[in-house]
Structure 1
Amino acid sequence: MTALRGVGGKTLERLERLGLHTLHDLVFHLPLRYEDRTVIKGINQLRHGDFALIEGYIETVEEQGIRQHSLVCYLNDGNASIGLRFFHYSAAQRERMRTGVLLRCFGEVREAGYGRAGKEMTHPEYREVASGEQGRIEASLTPVYPSTDGLQQRLLRRLIQDALTYYRDDSVAASALTDWLPRRVVDGLAFPALFDAIQTLHSPPPGSDSADSINQAQQRLAFEELLAHHLSLSRFKISRTRRAPLMRPNAVLEQAFSAVLPFHMTAAQQRVIAEIERDLAGEKPMMRLLQGDVGSGKTVVAARAALIAVASGFQVAIMAPTELLAEQHYQTFLRWLTPLGVNVGFLSGRQKASERETVLFALGSGLVNIVLGTHALFQESVIFQRLGLVIIDEQHRFGVHQRLALKEKGGRDGNCPHQLVMTATPIPRTLAMLGYADLDVSVIDELPPGRKPVQTVAMPSSRRGEVVQRIHDWVGQRRQAYWVCTLIEESELLSCQAAEQTAQALTAALPGVRVALIHGRMRAAQKEQAMQDFKSGLYDLLVATTVIEVGVDVPNAGLMVIENPERLGLSQLHQLRGRVGRGEGESFCVLLYQSPLSVTAKQRLGILRATQDGFVIAEKDLELRGPGEFLGVRQTGLMQFRVADLIRDSGLLDDVKTVAEDLLRDEPECVEPLISRWLGQGARYAEV
């Protein structure tokens, strides 16, 4: 960077603040928007809100105001005049603003304030026009870049143009911008060459062709960036060289398992189990993502997969994001698998030292076949005798390195355990294609018979009294209900009710209704006891935070009230709603919102009322909120795009997948440079 004219210590520091360390970084620092300075507009043509380039002579200059001084210059182009107002100005600036000086200015046009008629520009960009320069204008649109304090747009534009000149004129430097997309791909997709695309985005042509040129250049770079992300994971997938333990189902155990279940599995569950069986019978480690909407029955699929591993002589580790969910899975597995002679253990951070040592010994000696737990499972002290299968529930809540740390516990003698990751948050197709290119994907796209849709209504908080009465009537029918609060503590900023205060208020408003409370600050044992008491019918109403978002299953609880739903994302609201509708009879979800709602909040609540399909909701959530942290890999930089936009560029993904497969097969020498250009250190995720 210091090779460029004008880059000293302060400028270098400011550039580095933007993440710009090299010339390569600089040319890939793309504009946020453009300003059209290719046409000088007449002052009499200006309208309120226009951003325009104007030119004229200073006719008068005056300082206005008593407490807050401002410098106002009136500029005239021969047909009309406009005021240029500066609230912050120096004595030198005041001295240069002289009657008769020719200025060229760019800024936003506003109606004049302070009781004056006419138009004004406040703090426009301006410069004095030298003799003979009158009428000379920019040849391209002017880019506006992301910047930082002290780094002016004018300097940033010049540095980027200097860097582009350096790459264009220096053959050695130009190799850093080698076009690694094969010519057949570029031509087949009608893309411009790499350098041409970069040049266009920094200096787009004016006129009617500008938007098309910018769009084509943007698509070219977005495609390459998406391709680099896809390649980083696809390369990891095809390079699995470690062997996995061979596993075969046991027909006798399968029949016994089916007999224990109080239901019949759906066709979708059976299809997914068949896909898992094929993976477990292969030599390469299974890496499969299991998607299934709320209540689709992923747990029983996980149990069947675990049973195959146990029947083949291997141990299974099942990790859940919360102790509440891990404990619930533990109880379920005990109920289903203990009658089959399978030893199931539980490991969590809250256990007493003696309990923990007993479980650790049993794992190390092979006495426990299946262990369920939280992040405590991947601690160094946890040693398995023969770990063959790792199952991760609600995988997006764990970081990539946490998941891999657990998987590595089964690695010995070149072997690697199989891995099944599950999510009840459906992954939009755009994210699944890009973010999970290293995984095979199975989808349970069918709900068990008998599950009725949850009737969803939105009500303003002013009708809270009606909702409380509804709970009173509901509990009178010997049904149970949830009341979900979005915050634990009082907050004036968000005006959300605290869970503790809500529980107290509802207890007072509903005499005779037994109210329980769960929130994240309670001890794990307290939460589990409250949940178990609610499930067994000792309480009628459970006031809770979003800690009950996943895994909680109480068939008799068919009514849920969610306070301040406008504070939550669509997928989280859908997860919460999925806690009801699990038993017989109708189920209801009441969204008790604070008025007035923003446009986005209205959209979210409208979508939730209109559909129960988790995949549709996930797509809409992605559109409204962006990728978020679906992958759990924000710490590596993955999915932090410089150019690509998963919504705008989703149409490129099919071609990205095809080209990635072609490059990996036929032109592997192009793969590493593409990944390095766009991911840099972020590519290390795929190497872990």
Structure 2
Amino acid sequence: MARTRASTPVLAASGETPVTVLPGVGASVAAKLQARGIGSLQDLWLHLPLRYEDRTTLLPIRALKPGLPAQVEGRVEAVERGFRYRPMLRVAVSDGSGGTLVLRFFHFRAAQVAQFTIGTRLRAYGTPRPGQHGLEIVHPSYRVLGEGEEPGLGEALDPVYPAIEGIGPATLRKLIGQALERLPDEAALEVLPPALLAGMTLPSLRQALLTMHRPPADVDLAALAAGTHPVQRRLALEELLAHHLSQRRQRIALQRQRAPALRGRDGLAKALLDALPFRLTAAQRRVFDEIRKDLARAHPMLRLVQGDVGSGKTVVAALAAMLAVERGKQVALAAPTELLAEQHLANLRGWLEPLGVRVAWLAGKVTGKARGKVLEEVASGHAQVVVGTHALMQDNVVFDDLALAIVDEQHRFGVHQRLALRDKGAAAGVVPHQLVMTATPIPRTLAMAAYSDLDVSAIDELPPGRTPVQTSVLSAERRPELVERIRLACAQGRQAYWVCTLIDESDEVVATAAQNTYETLSAQLPELRIGLVHGRMKAAEKQAAMRAFKVAETHLLVATTVIEVGVDVPNASLMIIENAERLGLAQLHQLRGRVGRGAAASSCVLMYQPPLSAMARQRLETMRQTNDGFLIAEKDLELRGPGELLGTRQTGLAAFRIADLARDAALLPAVHALAERLLRESPAVADRVVARWVGGAARYASA
């Protein structure tokens, strides 16, 4: 049987050929592959290695360097079994070069121990690290060599693939190897016209795939490890192009829909501007002008307004709302938490009700007759601006004539929820305009890749009078100093936050930590009135505690990260964030934005529990060095990738096979230019690129 397969040439296959054509892939293996999204040969071609192991050379033991993987060959000098804490096997190997290496095993069988007799020849591969008796490799891969046996060295690097449950590494390598034997020639595999790639000095797709799966021994390993090798750039280019095309298609489909053209008189917007107790910044005026032009068109606006904490996004949204209300239309504003929604409600009622605009409130806690009355007002059109939480998206909420849907902190909503809100205004082929806002500034590279379906505006200027927050980083051992610092600040008429975080995300555990901190601080600071807010309190209790802090009835607020958004207390000038090393940059920046909202000098202390990991150290140092949310967002993208910035429910961008938005940012202008040209000149080619990399995965880019 084997001879028959060997003598029969393997035919090239199309990318859509199912994996079941490969020998050994029955229903069971196919199901395991499918669970990982691998159903075709093309999916196997694009299941790219995570890293490589270099077994093309042998290194003398004395030349080994800690942290650098290597392959060695030598004889067993000593074997030791130990049972301190847990079973352990140590095998000392030397090669005559003047060095000894210890191979350490924690999981082993008796038959394995029997292999390691004194004098046995071994070939082993792994990453050396300092041990008690020199360098050691923990759980190396190895083989026992017979006397006189001289196995050849590898001719290429060995790829290490992302694991697939139920399929061993050797089987996976074999399957991918079989799939590569069916790789079409360059002309059949290449989708992008050569003219498009001219001048980019990138290899063909076939060459890129073969090099990634079977890199030659002389390949630039440093470039591969850094992700900057030309073959990786070629694949990243096409993958970024596929995602961008997918989003552009969604955007084009949205642009074909109609929306109410909100143009003409701007009396309400002008009246609001005249009534405000402050002047708009130049950035706010610029962004409002961009929104006004969008709303005047007869196709749907889809604009993202990003701005740092306190940059004044809400008033820009209120001005946009007035353009709709002026023309007899309705506006919905959705926020992810009741705290944030109530903050918007208070601002909008204060600004708009004096102008005769009816602002309604719809959240989960609005029940019974009160809820029925609000639903009636929304359905009749009497409620002109409706503020709420996820409750706005429920089926029984019916608008009379919704023209503008505003979503704040949009990454906290699921895509389907935002679509549900948009659909509230969809009638007779007309859909509402959409304005989405975020206080988490988005790096330019991320905006170009993840939000290419939106027009992006930035309010990149803080209102005058805001004093930058001074940030310091202190070990938890200095906690007593911080208690005294709070005592002093409150004695001077200021207020303070103490934020509790825990690595366990259970509401119950975090609430307990906050409760314990509240009790400890109450005992240490008996002269202060201290409030408490955490996620397991009833909504009314949270609101009462927040209200008491806002009107300065309490000096100190002990809280969980529930106060991350939506709390505006200008008199609060000190924030302590406990276990700050456990939070991401975006969340730390949001929390810090709760202070520094008045004219007084404000401080934020990031208290950490040593020892710090390298990443935690970088995060805290970034926070100490800058208050610029856009710089912080760039660093967050660099450290953690796009997943957290976008929200896992927002997009599949976090699961790029090879592209890295921080690393491959320089490719994005070329990607955008290629996309425009393909959509204009070769839409069928665009379809093939999207099908290859994105498949049927819906991007919901119009949400």
TM-score, structure 2 normalization: 0.87
Matched, 1:4 2:19: no
Separation in 1, partners of 2:102, 2:482: 58
Match of residue 43, structure 2, among 18, 22, 25: 25
Cα distance, 1:19 vs. partner?
4.2
Match of residue 38, structure 1, among 27, 51, 56: 56
| CA gap 1:232/1:363 in 2 versus in 1, 3 angstroms | same
**Bigger mean CA deviation after superposition, 529-538 or 629-638:** 629-638
Structure 1 match to 2:689: 674
For the residue of structure 2 that corresponds to 1:2, the secondary structure is helix
| CA gap 1:386/1:687 in 2 versus in 1, 3 angstroms | closer
| CA gap 1:129/1:179 in 2 versus in 1, 3 angstroms | farther
Separation in 1, partners of 2:135, 2:575: 58
**How do 1:130-529 and structure 2 match up within 5 A?**
134=150, 136-148=152-164, 151-168=167-184, 178-207=189-218, 209=220, 211=222, 215-239=229-253, 240-248=255-263, 250-487=265-502, 498-529=513-544
Cα distance, 1:3 vs. partner?
2.7
Separation in 2, partners of 1:592, 1:82: 42
For the residue of structure 2 that corresponds to 1:680, the secondary structure is coil
The one-letter code matched in structure 2 to 1:199 is L
Cα distance, 1:428 vs. partner?
0.8
The one-letter code matched in structure 2 to 1:3 is V
**5+ residue gaps, structure 2:** 1-18
For the residue of structure 2 that corresponds to 1:392, the secondary structure is strand
Separation in 2, partners of 1:633, 1:54: 43
Matched, 1:662 2:673: no
**How do 1:531-550 and structure 2 match up within 5 A?**
531-550=546-565
Cα distance, 1:189 vs. partner?
1.5
For the residue of structure 2 that corresponds to 1:441, the secondary structure is strand
| CA gap 1:7/1:558 in 2 versus in 1, 3 angstroms | same
Could you tell me whether the CA contact under 8 Å between 1:489 and 1:499 is conserved in 2?
Answer: no
Could you tell me whether the CA contact under 8 Å between 1:272 and 1:443 is conserved in 2?
Answer: yes
For the residue of structure 2 that corresponds to 1:291, the secondary structure is strand
Separation in 2, partners of 1:112, 1:254: 71
| CA gap 1:248/1:490 in 2 versus in 1, 3 angstroms | closer
Separation in 1, partners of 2:64, 2:522: 64
Could you tell me whether the CA contact under 8 Å between 1:490 and 1:497 is conserved in 2?
Answer: no
**Bigger mean CA deviation after superposition, 546-555 or 432-441:** 546-555
Structure 1 match to 2:640: 625
* CA distances 1:421-470 after superposition (whole Å, capped 9, x unpaired): 00111001111001111110111111111111112222222222222222
CA root-mean-square deviation: 3.4
Could you tell me whether the CA contact under 8 Å between 2:652 and 2:699 is conserved in 1?
Answer: no
| CA gap 1:127/1:235 in 2 versus in 1, 3 angstroms | farther
Separation in 1, partners of 2:98, 2:526: 79
Separation in 2, partners of 1:4, 1:510: 72
Could you tell me whether the CA contact under 8 Å between 2:79 and 2:118 is conserved in 1?
Answer: no
* CA distances 1:129-188 after superposition (whole Å, capped 9, x unpaired): 899x846332211112222566443332222111100224xx8xx99x732222123332
Separation in 1, partners of 2:501, 2:105: 46
The one-letter code matched in structure 2 to 1:552 is V
* CA distances 1:347-387 after superposition (whole Å, capped 9, x unpaired): 00111211110000001111110000000001000000000
Structure 1 match to 2:9: none
**How do 1:580-659 and structure 2 match up within 5 A?**
580-632=595-647, 634=649, 637-659=652-674
The one-letter code matched in structure 1 to 2:177 is Q
| CA gap 1:88/1:448 in 2 versus in 1, 3 angstroms | closer
* CA distances 1:577-622 after superposition (whole Å, capped 9, x unpaired): 1111122322222222223333322222221121111101111111
* CA distances 1:165-217 after superposition (whole Å, capped 9, x unpaired): 0224xx8xx99x73222212333211111111000001111126555578111
Match of residue 556, structure 1, among 563, 567, 571: 571
Cα distance, 1:54 vs. partner?
4.9
The one-letter code matched in structure 2 to 1:22 is S
**Bigger mean CA deviation after superposition, 433-442 or 509-518:** 509-518
For the residue of structure 2 that corresponds to 1:248, the secondary structure is coil
The one-letter code matched in structure 2 to 1:197 is A
**Bigger mean CA deviation after superposition, 44-53 or 280-289:** 44-53
Separation in 1, partners of 2:136, 2:576: 53
| CA gap 1:389/1:48 in 2 versus in 1, 3 angstroms | closer
TM-score, structure 1 normalization: 0.89
Separation in 2, partners of 1:210, 1:319: 50
Cα distance, 1:127 vs. partner?
6.4
Could you tell me whether the CA contact under 8 Å between 1:290 and 1:444 is conserved in 2?
Answer: yes
| CA gap 1:516/1:52 in 2 versus in 1, 3 angstroms | closer
* Total equivalences in the alignment: 677
**5+ residue gaps, structure 1:** none
Question: Identity of counterpart residues, as a percentage?
Answer: 52
* CA distances 1:635-679 after superposition (whole Å, capped 9, x unpaired): 763431111112221221121111111111121111122112212
Could you tell me whether the CA contact under 8 Å between 2:266 and 2:323 is conserved in 1?
Answer: no
Separation in 1, partners of 2:603, 2:103: 60
**Bigger mean CA deviation after superposition, 294-303 or 470-479:** 470-479
For the residue of structure 2 that corresponds to 1:508, the secondary structure is helix
| CA gap 1:585/1:73 in 2 versus in 1, 3 angstroms | closer
Could you tell me whether the CA contact under 8 Å between 1:490 and 1:496 is conserved in 2?
Answer: no
For the residue of structure 2 that corresponds to 1:188, the secondary structure is coil
Could you tell me whether the CA contact under 8 Å between 1:400 and 1:633 is conserved in 2?
Answer: no
**Bigger mean CA deviation after superposition, 119-128 or 445-454:** 119-128
| CA gap 1:182/1:565 in 2 versus in 1, 3 angstroms | same
Matched, 1:125 2:137: no
The one-letter code matched in structure 2 to 1:198 is L
